[in-house]
């Protein structure tokens, strides 16, 4: 049995999207399924993705493999392959990319932005029609996929974003400072709750220390704007290695995951949520999507309504809690990560499902 993982990114992209595909490929290989990556963003393919079907034949290589298409762009590309070359196709739908394009279009406007939304919808629907299975990362995303009417519930598999528990773990005891350190780590896309973070920065509240990690060169204007606010309790840092990030997460009293209520965020299961859980720190987040349910049921953090004002009030409530209570909130996270988000378990289950569904001696 062989599997080819299609990424629409470049091979040198170190983001959560490529990380998911690489981890799944690595774990399938460990389970005896020969797996390799094809990066459609690399030369000579590159962009735009609408042209990838014209070039995919040469990059794909030998026939007869399961195609694991990561995203609508890749599922669209795979849909143009013959069944002889790609007898089984899996659409790994990480989120609602049509809603992401719509959110970006609202910010930029113009006919080109509107066209990108239409193209993304076309790619997603064609990809769904052509796929034998669809992977989702959350129950709300399952409902979103089924609402299309193009696939059945039996075709939809839950394969969550996982975490490497050998790397992401508590590296030192819970700090329990009198003035807690709150930390956000991640990207700065429009749906990442930037307005919530800015509200905390502008408050200049001396009851907590705020750290924001993950800035890249393209985020220079945002970093500069937040820097001019003049909050003496704010520290901003660039992107880090995983080892450095784990140390920073473990030195925090609480980890932040604020998101506005939007179709993009309702279906998401951010990679950083599993990473936050695994290091054993309370998570402060908004009541959007499945992460809020996990936190509420386990007691590993606190949840607010999805507005900057309500999230700011939640942060102040957390800072007023006794340090012993904050430490107790930190305890359920690692076990929750083991039960639901451990890459080893996710990889084994995915390999087993592939064999059960497609291991029928038909050339794969």
pLDDT digits (tens, 9 = 90+) for 196-232: 999 999 999 999 999 999 999 999 999 999 999 999 9
Do residues 86 and 255 make contact, with C-beta atoms less than 8 angstroms apart?
no
* Threshold 0.85, pTM exceeds: yes
**SS3 assignment, position 176:** coil
pLDDT tens digits along 320-351: 999 999 999 999 999 999 999 999 999 999 99
Q: How high is the pLDDT of residue 62?
A: 58
Nearest to 86 by CA among 77, 95, 94: 77
Phi first, then psi, for residue 166 (nearest 5°) are -75, -25
Q: How high is the pLDDT of residue 50?
A: 72
Nearest to 160 by CA among 318, 293, 347: 347
Torsion over CA: 46, 51, 53, 54 (sign): negative
DSSP, residue by residue, 187-217: ---TTS-HHHHHHHHHHT-TTSEEEEEEE-G
Judge whether residue 45 has pLDDT over 80: no
pLDDT band for 361, please (50, 70, 90 cuts): very low
Residue 304 forms beta bridges with which residues? Answer: 286
Higher pLDDT, 362 or 36: 36
Judge whether residue 362 has pLDDT over 70: no
Quote the crossing angle between the two packed helices 289-298 and 333-340, to the nearest 10°. 130
């Amino acid at each position: 049995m062989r599997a080819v993982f299609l990424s629409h990114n470049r091979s040198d992209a170190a983001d959560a999207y490529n990380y998911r595909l690489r981890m799944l490929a690595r774990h399938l290989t460990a389970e005896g399924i020969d797996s390799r990556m094809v990066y459609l963003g690399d030369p000579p393919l590159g962009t735009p993705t609408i042209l990838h079907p014209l070039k995919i034949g040469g990059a794909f290589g030998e026939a007869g493999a399961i195609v694991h298409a990561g995203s609508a762009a890749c599922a669209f590309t795979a849909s143009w392959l013959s069944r002889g070359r790609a007898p089984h196709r899996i659409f790994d739908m990480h989120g609602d990319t049509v809603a992401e394009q719509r959110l970006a279009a609202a910010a930029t406007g113009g006919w080109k932005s509107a066209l990108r939304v239409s193209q993304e919808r076309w790619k997603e629907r064609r990809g769904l029609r052509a796929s034998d299975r669809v992977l989702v990362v959350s129950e709300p995303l399952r409902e979103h996929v089924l609402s299309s009417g193009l696939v059945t519930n039996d075709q939809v598999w839950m394969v969550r974003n996982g975490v490497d528990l050998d790397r992401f773990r508590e590296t030192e005891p819970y700090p329990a400072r009198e003035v807690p350190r709150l930390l956000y780590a991640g990207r700065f896309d429009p749906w990442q709750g930037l307005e919530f973070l800015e509200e905390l920065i502008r408050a200049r509240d001396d009851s907590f220390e705020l750290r924001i990690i993950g800035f890249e060169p393209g985020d220079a204007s945002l970093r500069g704007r937040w820097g001019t606010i003049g909050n003496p309790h704010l520290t901003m840092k660039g992107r880090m290695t995983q080892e450095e990030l784990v140390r920073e997460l473990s030195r925090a009293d609480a980890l932040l995951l604020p998101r506005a209520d939007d179709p993009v965020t309702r279906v998401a299961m951010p990679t950083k949520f599993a990473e936050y859980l695994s290091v054993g720190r309370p998570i402060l987040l908004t009541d959007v999507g499945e992460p809020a349910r996990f936190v509420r049921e386990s007691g590993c953090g606190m949840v607010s309504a999805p507005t900057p004002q309500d999230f700011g009030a939640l942060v102040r409530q957390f800072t007023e809690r006794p340090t012993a209570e904050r430490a107790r909130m930190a305890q359920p996270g690692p076990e929750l990560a083991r039960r639901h988000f451990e890459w080893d378990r996710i990889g084994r289950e995915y390999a087993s499902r592939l064999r059960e569904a497609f291991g029928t001696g038909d050339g794969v």
